[in-house]
Amino acid sequence: MPITKGLDKLVKYNDRSIKDLTTTPAAAGGGGTGAIVHIKTLTASGDSTLNFVDGASGVVLDDTYPIYKIEFINLHPSADGDYLRMNFSIDTGSNYNVSKLTTHFYSGHAEADGSTAVAYDTSSDYVGTGDLTIAPSVGNDNDQAFSGSMTLFNPSSTTFVKHFISTIHESHSDNLAVSTYVTGFVNSASAVDAIKFVYTSGNIASGKIKLYGILDS
């Protein structure tokens, strides 16, 4: 199957396939000795952009941690049907235009008729330097928002590309429950030191984004 075949080789940590890792951080429920450390929480209140920049406002995004975890909590758009997008920077946020390659698939369940779908969405696969969609068409009714997480592997590497995985669960503007999965990598040997999040046509009305670092020893 095109979605799963070779997926164990897609995401690498320090040039090792995920299947080759023998321990996981204890804080994540694994048997390793690592720990997860809260770094920064961003709270949205009508913001056009939210970002984490290494060295700014207490943010650490360097070789202190080999793995970073970002949690999205009830991010609510000001505009109905808006798309949350993200991008990376390799110059501490001066420019967000890093080359990325991704694969995209989703699952959904309709509120009206109970219809379901699981699909590999080739039209949403991305190759380019622009902002990357990770949460499509989020509704802005009172009961609509999205939550989820993104894992970024070894962003400070100056040898390897930087792999990431995002998993988003949302209340879609068409009254669907949708989970969207994006896997890919930053196609650059330069260290990633900033990440931004932005809706395409409106502001981030409310919600939180939390940044964590994960130690592997």
CATH number for position 54: 2.60.120
3-state SS assignment for residue 18:
helix
Is residue 203 included in any domain, yes or no?
yes
Task: State how far the Cα of 158 lies from the Cα of 192, in Å rounded to an integer.
Answer: 9
Segments forming the whole domain that contains residue 58: 36-214
Residues 18-57 have pLDDT tens digits of 444 444 444 444 444 468 999 999 999 999 999 999 999 9
Residue with the bigger pLDDT between 92 and 106: it is 92
Residues 93-130 have pLDDT tens digits of 999 999 999 998 888 888 777 788 888 878 778 899 99
Is residue 4 included in any domain, yes or no?
no
Is residue 41 included in any domain, yes or no?
yes
Task: State the total domains in the chain.
Answer: 1
Most confident of the following: 4-13, 29-38, 139-148: 139-148
Residue 10, pLDDT > 70, answer no
The H or E element spanning position 8 is: helix 7-10
Task: State how far the Cα of 68 lies from the Cα of 74, in Å rounded to an integer.
Answer: 20
